[in-house]
């Protein structure tokens, strides 16, 4: 459903680009085979979807070559929304439907390919969410649904009411929880390929001076030299080696960073190379 590497746009508002510059970036991503774009209604203080939509309006035929992913469920305090006095979560049917209508308008599209609930909501009524999803699916406004940052139990609850296709979670050598907490086991059991945000630890893999980050960086660089690719490419290859077949998201404005991520799709680390990176991250051999 999605491209092997997904383009994340959460920082687009800070790029300070013209619509033409944003369109050129979109075209370059598509030319690399990065056809999926990951949004959320709140990105850029509720501005990024419109920035992307304005660029897409310059070449609307490109919509047929891409998949648009967006998220809802977080209410932010911003000047444009004075009724929100505190940041909170809202997975009510009314909010989900309103968010989708707003996203469709901002993105200048008739349909969202994949809608995710952005964060677990302790007040979520699974039946109410399922009803909202069913309505949006029947109306042809959303093709598929998933969640983001859900535990396996939270995913299982909503999955019992309505079909889900993915759980978008954080994972990289410095954050390995999904490997062990059942998240990726569940994804493999359900054949629901997860999406992965922050695959490079927000840049910490290459900037942090902590001991674990420096060990991982050295190992990634060493393995990359064997393959003739960058350390970043090997970091993506480490994730792509997982049997749950994840979709890593890369959010860089640099097309070179996109190229590094795409290059990982041609690399299959062997078990020892994959474990080399794990051992560098933990600082100890596997048991």
16 Ramachandran zone, left/alpha/beta (phi>0; psi -120 to 50): left
Average pLDDT, the chain: 97
Active-site positions read: 43
Contact partners, residue 191, CB within 8 Å, separation at least 6: none
Q: pLDDT by residue (tens digit) across 138-148?
A: 999 999 999 99
Sign of the CA dihedral with 126 first, then 132, 136, and 142 last: negative
Residue listed under structure tokens 């056809």: 35
Q: pLDDT by residue (tens digit) across 161-212?
A: 999 999 999 999 999 999 999 999 999 999 999 999 999 999 999 999 999 9
Distance CA 45, CA 79 (A): 9
Q: What pLDDT, on a 0 to 100 scale, did the predictor assign at position 79? A: 87
Q: Is 107 helix (H, G, I), strand (E, B) or coil?
A: helix
Instruction: Report the share of the chain in percent with pLDDT over 90.
Output: 98
Q: Indicate the pTM of the whole model.
A: 0.97
Q: What pLDDT, on a 0 to 100 scale, did the predictor assign at position 80? A: 80
Q: What pLDDT, on a 0 to 100 scale, did the predictor assign at position 275? A: 98
- Per DSSP, 162 falls in state S
Distance CA 66, CA 132 (A): 25
For residues 176 and 281, the answer to whether their CB atoms sit within 8 Å is yes
Beta bridge partners of 67: 36
Instruction: Report the share of the chain in percent with pLDDT over 70.
Output: 100
Sign of the CA dihedral with 44 first, then 50, 51, and 56 last: positive
Beta bridge partners of 148: 168
Q: What pLDDT, on a 0 to 100 scale, did the predictor assign at position 82? A: 87
Q: What pLDDT, on a 0 to 100 scale, did the predictor assign at position 175? A: 98
Domain 6-165, what fold? Answer: TIM Barrel (3.20.20)
* pLDDT tier at 17, thresholds 50, 70, 90: very high
For residues 203 and 176, the answer to whether their CB atoms sit within 8 Å is no
Q: What pLDDT, on a 0 to 100 scale, did the predictor assign at position 108? A: 98
pLDDT at 151 over 90: yes
pLDDT at 42 over 90: yes
Q: What are the sequence ranges of the domains in the chain?
A: 6-165
Mean pLDDT of 63-91: 95
- Per DSSP, 61 falls in state G
What count of other Cβ atoms lies within 10 Å of the Cβ of residue 52? 27
């Amino acid at each position: 459903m999605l491209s092997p590497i997904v383009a994340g746009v959460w920082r687009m508002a800070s790029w300070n680009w013209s619509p033409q510059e944003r369109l050129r970036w979109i075209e370059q991503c598509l030319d690399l085979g990065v056809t999926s774009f990951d949004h959320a209604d709140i990105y850029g203080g509720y501005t990024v979807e419109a920035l992307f939509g304005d660029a897409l309006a310059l070449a609307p035929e490109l919509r047929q070559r891409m998949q648009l992913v967006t998220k809802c469920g977080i209410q932010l305090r911003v000047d444009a929304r004075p009724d929100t006095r505190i940041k909170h979560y809202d997975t009510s049917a009314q909010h989900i439907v309103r968010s989708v209508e707003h996203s469709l308008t901002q993105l200048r599209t008739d349909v969202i390919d994949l809608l995710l609930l952005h964060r677990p909501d302790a007040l979520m009524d699974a039946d109410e969410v399922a009803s909202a999803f069913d309505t949006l699916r029947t109306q042809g406004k959303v093709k598929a649904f998933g969640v983001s940052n859900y535990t396996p139990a939270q995913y299982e609850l909503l999955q019992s009411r309505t079909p889900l296709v993915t759980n978008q979670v954080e994972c990289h050598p410095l954050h390995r929880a999904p490997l062990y907490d059942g998240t990726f086991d569940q994804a493999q059991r359900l054949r629901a390929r997860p999406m992965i945000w922050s695959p490079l630890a927000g840049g910490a893999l290459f900037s942090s001076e902590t001991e674990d980050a420096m060990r991982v960086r050295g190992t990634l660089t060493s393995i990359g030299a064997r393959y003739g690719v960058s350390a970043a490419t090997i970091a993506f290859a480490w994730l792509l080696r997982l049997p749950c077949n994840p979709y890593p998201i890369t959010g860089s404005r640099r097309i070179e960073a996109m190229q590094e991520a795409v290059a990982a799709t041609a690399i299959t680390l062997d078990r020892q190379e994959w474990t080399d990176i794990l051992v560098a991250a933990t600082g100890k051999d596997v048991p």
